[in-house]
Structure 1
């Protein structure tokens, strides 16, 4: 019988989940050390050892996901009636929104949005949710959408966000205290545009649920759209083509790092379709130092679970594992001292794939959220269920092409 590391699935205690995760990693290291010893002595590892390592690796991933979920749930603030804002206008909006969600009564919301001169209100565009609900949805997305959590986020009121950037940089120089100041050349400016695209979800509810006065409608709508929004926008921030969705950073033009120029992302090549068999971690070191020092201070690795599983086995020349579990609750695992962000939308290790990204995403990638999230109540299309067509507008794209580097599995 092959021993398996099990997590305490019946316990919701965060501290015990953290202990489970730490214990799983210790078992992983012991088993991987055994595997490496077998390779050194017999030039191959035992099948039983490989199977055991695979099962422990899977248990380690499960423990990490459970820990992340418990930490996220614990960090969420209450969204019930006891925490309702005391501002009369906000309370009025909240009350009108509750009536609309439960019974379809839109008179109150119509009056409020007419007062606010909102051009998008009415049966065709839906009605604005209370700002507490919108804030909670964005908070939840920041916790479960991996790229959003590490990128810059701007809230805009229009359809797109524009910013100017210098392609050459300003001309500067040193002068003495009393010396004349020669005129400097003007910087060459260009404009970047980030349009906000429409993202939607359509949760359904029974009328019985809506009639139940105990049910917190605000919390229900936030929880229902959370997963749908996070899944769609996370995929777009990585691979989106920019057509009716944000443009992901992997959709940028990608060139070898030694031929990098603005408007493209530089990539370090591994030399083949997999990590090198000898000293595989050397390409990770090369990737880290391909990034300028100013960006490395706040840089993170981004990869999917399978890639992280392969890298988890790497050691340095002193026999220390390069991947380390979180030091405390709420922190990320680290690789070579830098946080590891797990994004399942990153490609697997394969020929031509850019399976690892490394950079300062706060400076490198920009997400724009248009203020306002709308809900349109539809009691007709899926009787006896009531559908809630919920929309928000979001965009994104690379804003600093020097801040992100990629590891490409190619010659």
Structure 2
């Protein structure tokens, strides 16, 4: 990790300590923040967010540089499999300069319209664990993310979809026909049985959720000059643009989708864990947050996939909350790769979650592995058109993805905080 990142982390720690000092002082004096203190708090909270963004950008840049160096080293050495370069690289006839891997060369030729038709299916070479592609979590595989075009695209898709970041269960299917996934609506219950009496029956209740394949698409236009410039990371540019566009579109539905003409969002199917008090415009308290945490039953609450989701404004509000012992609920991740935590569980920001408001579902907590994402077709489909923007000499790419999603356990695996109604 670079000196710059270390300095940013030190500054982040200093800002957080200063924020704590302001909040602690008002607590000790049993009063609300003064106007001046509130202004200082807001400025430092904004700086904390900016530092988070800079740290993430710096770590991503370092990771990309490492990936590029590793890829160059593999190409230069021929992957350790001889002059043929079957281990991941090729050499030119002189055997000295590294070249682009064959799959990337074919991709660039297709992008320039030099063969291969107008369609290009982007699929993984083998099984992919989507959860291992979260860049911010090295312990979950972030440091071993492959550098192929497919993996770069999927990484951007995940980075822009909080549901995919959170560890949702991903089902890949080759075709797009509707599949029926069983959902649990009630569990079995037990009871005391006196001697000689009949044991009552109690069976779990199941239903079915149809998972279809809604089509998501994005148009990306690239100048002919950019296509012809071999010094430009064209694959990275298209992977970023397509991944972000599709990830943002699906990500919004994965949170609040209605299930009618779009996926069912996790908020749509989640049950209410806590309802806030009145007279506070939908705001939550520290007790509300703790109650929401414990409203999820222990097996789901303890799951590695149990996370918090909320909007930025809710995170800002949570930073001020303390438990009954005076400890802050929000625990900033100050170590490399360590996420921010609330009650020991990761916090994921998603702008699609409602902000604090009357009757708004502004906090989500639970086991996100119980949310199923269905991806049909096995990958992303690209189509190229040289005619669509003929008058401006732009080449148009169309990225298509077919997906659906729904929560499969409706017994309380995921719960929400709902703001008071008045």
Q: Same fold (TM over 0.5)?
A: yes
Query: Does residue 397 of structure 1 match 2:406?
Result: yes
Instruction: Please state whether the residue corresponding to 2:49 is helix, strand or coil.
Output: helix
Distance 2:202 2:46 in 1: 58
Other-structure match for 1:410: 420
Other-structure match for 1:340: 347
Query: Does residue 164 of structure 1 match 2:152?
Result: no
Query: Does residue 227 of structure 1 match 2:244?
Result: yes
Cα distance, 1:342 vs. partner?
Answer: 1.1
Instruction: Please state whether the residue corresponding to 1:246 is helix, strand or coil.
Output: coil
Cα distance, 1:393 vs. partner?
Answer: 1.6
Distance 2:302 2:156 in 1: 26
Cα distance, 1:130 vs. partner?
Answer: 5.9
TM-score by length of 1: 0.77
Other-structure match for 1:149: 165
Aligned length: 358
Structural mapping, 1:180-199, within 5 Å: 189-199=206-216
Structural mapping, 1:12-411, within 5 Å: 13-37=4-28, 40=30, 43=31, 45-75=33-63, 77-78=67-68, 86=86, 94-102=104-112, 104-106=113-115, 109-110=116-117, 123=118, 126-129=119-122, 131=124, 132-150=148-166, 151-159=168-176, 160-165=178-183, 189-252=206-269, 265-272=271-278, 274=280, 280-298=285-303, 299-362=306-369, 364-370=370-376, 371-382=378-389, 383-401=392-410, 402-410=412-420
User: RMSD in angstroms over aligned alpha carbons?
Assistant: 3.2
Query: Is the Cα contact below 8 Å between 1:281 and 1:315 reproduced in 2?
Result: yes
Change (3 A) 1:69 1:365: farther
1:355-391 C-alpha deviation (Å, 9 max, x unpaired): 00110111x2111222121211123333232221111
Query: Is the Cα contact below 8 Å between 1:302 and 1:356 reproduced in 2?
Result: yes
Change (3 A) 1:157 1:74: farther
Cα distance, 1:352 vs. partner?
Answer: 0.6
1:212-242 C-alpha deviation (Å, 9 max, x unpaired): 1222332221122232223222211111223
Distance 1:306 1:235 in 2: 17
Query: Is the Cα contact below 8 Å between 2:367 and 2:413 reproduced in 1?
Result: yes
Query: Is the Cα contact below 8 Å between 2:356 and 2:419 reproduced in 1?
Result: yes
TM-score by length of 2: 0.75
Instruction: Please state whether the residue corresponding to 2:379 is helix, strand or coil.
Output: coil
Cα distance, 1:47 vs. partner?
Answer: 1.8
Residue ranges of structure 2 left out of the alignment (5+ in a row)? 76-84, 89-100, 125-147, 192-198
Distance 1:233 1:379 in 2: 28
Cα distance, 1:56 vs. partner?
Answer: 0.5
Other-structure match for 2:142: none
Change (3 A) 1:167 1:304: closer
Residue ranges of structure 1 left out of the alignment (5+ in a row)? 1-10, 111-122, 174-181, 253-263
